[in-house]
Amino acid sequence: MKFFIDTANLDEIHEAQDLGILDGVTTNPSLMAKEGITGAANIRAHYKAICDVVDDNVSAEVIATEFSKMVAEGRELAKIDDKIVVKVPMIRDGIKAISTLTAEGIRTNCTLIFNAGQAILAAKAGASYVSPFIGRLDDISMDGLALIEQLVQIYDNYDFETEILAASIRHNMHLIQCAEIGADVATCPLSVITGLLKHPLTDQGLEKFLADYKKGNA
Protein backbone atom coordinates (compact mmCIF):
# COMPACT_ATOMS: atom_id res chain seq x y z
CA MET A 1 0.00 0.00 0.00
CA LYS A 2 1.25 3.45 -0.91
CA PHE A 3 1.08 6.26 1.65
CA PHE A 4 0.35 9.77 0.37
CA ILE A 5 0.07 12.78 2.66
CA ASP A 6 -2.88 15.09 2.09
CA THR A 7 -1.51 18.57 2.72
CA ALA A 8 0.20 21.57 1.18
CA ASN A 9 2.26 22.24 4.32
CA LEU A 10 5.95 21.79 3.53
CA ASP A 11 6.93 21.11 7.15
CA GLU A 12 4.45 18.23 7.34
CA ILE A 13 5.65 16.87 4.00
CA HIS A 14 9.26 17.00 5.19
CA GLU A 15 8.31 15.19 8.41
CA ALA A 16 6.53 12.40 6.54
CA GLN A 17 9.35 12.12 4.03
CA ASP A 18 11.89 11.88 6.83
CA LEU A 19 10.05 8.83 8.18
CA GLY A 20 11.04 7.03 4.99
CA ILE A 21 7.53 5.78 4.23
CA LEU A 22 6.07 8.52 2.01
CA ASP A 23 5.08 7.69 -1.56
CA GLY A 24 3.42 10.91 -2.65
CA VAL A 25 1.42 14.04 -1.87
CA THR A 26 -2.13 15.11 -2.65
CA THR A 27 -3.22 18.73 -2.57
CA ASN A 28 -6.28 20.71 -3.56
CA PRO A 29 -7.27 24.38 -3.76
CA SER A 30 -8.61 24.30 -0.19
CA LEU A 31 -5.31 22.99 1.20
CA MET A 32 -3.39 25.62 -0.75
CA ALA A 33 -5.64 28.36 0.61
CA LYS A 34 -5.17 27.00 4.14
CA GLU A 35 -1.43 27.64 3.75
CA GLY A 36 -2.05 31.13 2.36
CA ILE A 37 -0.78 30.21 -1.11
CA THR A 38 -2.67 32.18 -3.75
CA GLY A 39 -2.11 33.22 -7.35
CA ALA A 40 -1.25 30.87 -10.22
CA ALA A 41 2.49 31.59 -10.14
CA ASN A 42 2.76 31.06 -6.37
CA ILE A 43 0.72 27.87 -6.51
CA ARG A 44 2.90 26.41 -9.26
CA ALA A 45 6.05 27.42 -7.40
CA HIS A 46 4.69 25.62 -4.35
CA TYR A 47 4.03 22.48 -6.38
CA LYS A 48 7.65 22.59 -7.49
CA ALA A 49 8.80 22.99 -3.89
CA ILE A 50 6.80 19.89 -2.94
CA CYS A 51 8.30 17.96 -5.86
CA ASP A 52 11.77 18.86 -4.59
CA VAL A 53 10.99 17.12 -1.28
CA VAL A 54 9.35 13.85 -2.35
CA ASP A 55 10.32 11.08 -4.75
CA ASP A 56 7.16 10.97 -6.92
CA ASN A 57 3.38 11.36 -7.18
CA VAL A 58 2.48 14.98 -6.46
CA SER A 59 -1.17 15.57 -7.34
CA ALA A 60 -1.74 19.08 -8.71
CA GLU A 61 -5.36 20.02 -9.35
CA VAL A 62 -6.75 21.87 -12.36
CA ILE A 63 -9.08 24.77 -11.62
CA ALA A 64 -10.79 24.85 -15.02
CA THR A 65 -14.01 22.90 -15.55
CA GLU A 66 -14.23 23.12 -19.36
CA PHE A 67 -12.54 20.46 -21.50
CA SER A 68 -10.07 22.50 -23.55
CA LYS A 69 -9.10 24.64 -20.56
CA MET A 70 -8.58 21.59 -18.34
CA VAL A 71 -6.35 19.98 -20.97
CA ALA A 72 -4.33 23.16 -21.39
CA GLU A 73 -3.98 23.61 -17.63
CA GLY A 74 -3.08 19.95 -17.18
CA ARG A 75 -0.32 20.23 -19.76
CA GLU A 76 1.11 23.26 -17.98
CA LEU A 77 0.99 21.56 -14.59
CA ALA A 78 2.75 18.50 -16.02
CA LYS A 79 5.61 20.73 -17.17
CA ILE A 80 6.40 21.72 -13.58
CA ASP A 81 8.07 18.39 -12.82
CA ASP A 82 7.95 14.76 -13.94
CA LYS A 83 6.56 13.90 -10.50
CA ILE A 84 3.30 15.77 -11.15
CA VAL A 85 0.03 13.86 -11.42
CA VAL A 86 -2.72 16.08 -12.82
CA LYS A 87 -5.81 16.03 -10.62
CA VAL A 88 -9.06 16.31 -12.59
CA PRO A 89 -12.62 16.46 -11.21
CA MET A 90 -15.19 13.76 -11.97
CA ILE A 91 -17.33 15.65 -14.47
CA ARG A 92 -18.18 15.01 -18.14
CA ASP A 93 -15.43 17.27 -19.46
CA GLY A 94 -13.09 15.89 -16.82
CA ILE A 95 -13.43 12.38 -18.25
CA LYS A 96 -12.69 13.74 -21.72
CA ALA A 97 -9.67 15.61 -20.36
CA ILE A 98 -8.35 12.49 -18.60
CA SER A 99 -8.61 10.52 -21.83
CA THR A 100 -6.72 13.21 -23.76
CA LEU A 101 -4.01 13.73 -21.13
CA THR A 102 -3.53 9.98 -20.72
CA ALA A 103 -3.03 9.62 -24.48
CA GLU A 104 -0.29 12.24 -24.19
CA GLY A 105 1.49 10.30 -21.45
CA ILE A 106 0.41 12.61 -18.62
CA ARG A 107 -0.60 10.87 -15.40
CA THR A 108 -3.98 11.80 -13.92
CA ASN A 109 -5.89 11.49 -10.66
CA CYS A 110 -9.68 11.60 -11.02
CA THR A 111 -10.96 13.28 -7.87
CA LEU A 112 -14.33 13.64 -6.15
CA ILE A 113 -15.39 10.03 -6.75
CA PHE A 114 -18.48 9.00 -4.77
CA ASN A 115 -19.83 5.91 -6.55
CA ALA A 116 -18.70 2.93 -8.58
CA GLY A 117 -20.08 4.23 -11.87
CA GLN A 118 -17.87 7.30 -11.67
CA ALA A 119 -14.85 5.14 -10.90
CA ILE A 120 -15.55 2.85 -13.85
CA LEU A 121 -15.71 5.83 -16.23
CA ALA A 122 -12.43 7.19 -14.86
CA ALA A 123 -10.70 3.83 -15.29
CA LYS A 124 -12.05 3.48 -18.82
CA ALA A 125 -10.65 6.94 -19.61
CA GLY A 126 -7.23 5.79 -18.41
CA ALA A 127 -6.87 7.64 -15.10
CA SER A 128 -3.74 6.68 -13.19
CA TYR A 129 -5.62 7.06 -9.90
CA VAL A 130 -9.21 7.46 -8.74
CA SER A 131 -9.90 9.22 -5.45
CA PRO A 132 -13.05 8.03 -3.66
CA PHE A 133 -13.76 10.30 -0.68
CA ILE A 134 -14.70 7.85 2.05
CA GLY A 135 -14.95 10.33 4.93
CA ARG A 136 -17.36 12.56 3.06
CA LEU A 137 -19.58 9.57 2.32
CA ASP A 138 -19.54 8.65 6.00
CA ASP A 139 -20.58 12.26 6.79
CA ILE A 140 -23.89 11.72 4.97
CA SER A 141 -24.52 8.31 6.57
CA MET A 142 -23.22 6.29 3.62
CA ASP A 143 -20.51 3.61 3.84
CA GLY A 144 -17.29 4.92 2.35
CA LEU A 145 -15.38 1.72 3.01
CA ALA A 146 -18.04 -0.30 1.18
CA LEU A 147 -17.28 1.79 -1.91
CA ILE A 148 -13.57 0.94 -1.65
CA GLU A 149 -14.44 -2.75 -1.38
CA GLN A 150 -16.72 -2.50 -4.41
CA LEU A 151 -14.06 -0.76 -6.50
CA VAL A 152 -11.41 -3.34 -5.59
CA GLN A 153 -13.70 -6.10 -6.84
CA ILE A 154 -14.69 -4.30 -10.06
CA TYR A 155 -11.14 -3.30 -10.95
CA ASP A 156 -9.93 -6.85 -10.29
CA ASN A 157 -12.70 -8.22 -12.51
CA TYR A 158 -11.42 -6.29 -15.51
CA ASP A 159 -7.72 -5.84 -14.72
CA PHE A 160 -7.99 -2.06 -14.76
CA GLU A 161 -4.56 -0.52 -14.23
CA THR A 162 -6.06 2.50 -12.45
CA GLU A 163 -5.07 2.57 -8.78
CA ILE A 164 -7.64 3.12 -6.03
CA LEU A 165 -6.53 6.08 -3.93
CA ALA A 166 -8.63 6.21 -0.77
CA ALA A 167 -9.14 9.86 0.15
CA SER A 168 -10.85 11.82 2.92
CA ILE A 169 -9.40 9.41 5.48
CA ARG A 170 -10.25 10.73 8.93
CA HIS A 171 -8.60 8.37 11.41
CA ASN A 172 -6.29 5.40 11.87
CA MET A 173 -8.96 2.73 11.50
CA HIS A 174 -10.04 4.19 8.17
CA LEU A 175 -6.50 3.65 6.90
CA ILE A 176 -6.16 0.15 8.36
CA GLN A 177 -9.53 -0.92 6.97
CA CYS A 178 -8.59 0.44 3.53
CA ALA A 179 -5.44 -1.70 3.73
CA GLU A 180 -7.51 -4.77 4.68
CA ILE A 181 -9.89 -4.22 1.77
CA GLY A 182 -7.07 -3.71 -0.73
CA ALA A 183 -6.94 -0.01 -1.62
CA ASP A 184 -3.75 0.68 -3.57
CA VAL A 185 -3.10 4.04 -1.93
CA ALA A 186 -4.24 5.93 1.16
CA THR A 187 -3.93 9.70 1.36
CA CYS A 188 -4.41 11.24 4.76
CA PRO A 189 -3.22 13.94 7.16
CA LEU A 190 0.12 13.58 8.90
CA SER A 191 -1.70 12.92 12.20
CA VAL A 192 -3.20 9.71 10.78
CA ILE A 193 0.18 8.47 9.54
CA THR A 194 1.96 9.20 12.82
CA GLY A 195 -1.01 7.81 14.74
CA LEU A 196 -0.08 4.37 13.42
CA LEU A 197 3.07 4.54 15.57
CA LYS A 198 1.15 4.63 18.82
CA HIS A 199 0.00 1.89 21.16
CA PRO A 200 -0.04 2.11 24.98
CA LEU A 201 1.51 -1.36 25.36
CA THR A 202 4.44 -0.28 23.18
CA ASP A 203 5.02 2.70 25.47
CA GLN A 204 4.68 0.58 28.60
CA GLY A 205 6.96 -2.14 27.25
CA LEU A 206 9.68 0.31 26.26
CA GLU A 207 9.46 2.05 29.63
CA LYS A 208 9.91 -1.28 31.43
CA PHE A 209 12.80 -2.41 29.21
CA LEU A 210 14.65 0.86 29.86
CA ALA A 211 13.92 0.74 33.58
CA ASP A 212 15.21 -2.84 33.84
CA TYR A 213 18.32 -1.90 31.88
CA LYS A 214 19.06 0.96 34.26
CA LYS A 215 18.72 -1.35 37.27
CA GLY A 216 21.45 -3.61 36.01
CA ASN A 217 23.64 -0.95 34.45
CA ALA A 218 23.49 1.96 36.89
Length of the chain in residues, anyone? 218
What is the reported pLDDT for 181?
97
Beta bridge partners, 109, equal 87, 129
What is the reported pLDDT for 218?
73
Beta bridge partners, 108, equal 86
What is the reported pLDDT for 216?
83
The parent domain of residue 89 ranges over 2-216
Report, as residue numbers or ranges, the catalytic residues.
Answer: 87
pLDDT in tens, the chain (218 residues): 999 999 999 999 999 999 999 999 999 989 999 999 999 999 999 999 999 999 999 999 999 999 999 999 999 999 999 999 999 999 999 999 999 999 999 999 999 999 999 999 999 999 999 999 999 999 999 999 999 999 999 999 999 999 999 999 999 999 999 999 999 999 999 999 999 999 999 999 999 999 999 988 87
Domain count across the chain: 1
Handedness of CA 136, 138, 139, 140 (dihedral sign): positive
How far, in Å, CA of 201 to CA of 218, rounded? 25
How far, in Å, CA of 3 to CA of 175, rounded? 10
How far, in Å, CA of 163 to CA of 44, rounded? 25
CATH of the domain at 199: 3.20.20.70
| Cα distances (Å, whole numbers) of residue 137 to 61, 115, 146, 174 | 21, 10, 10, 12
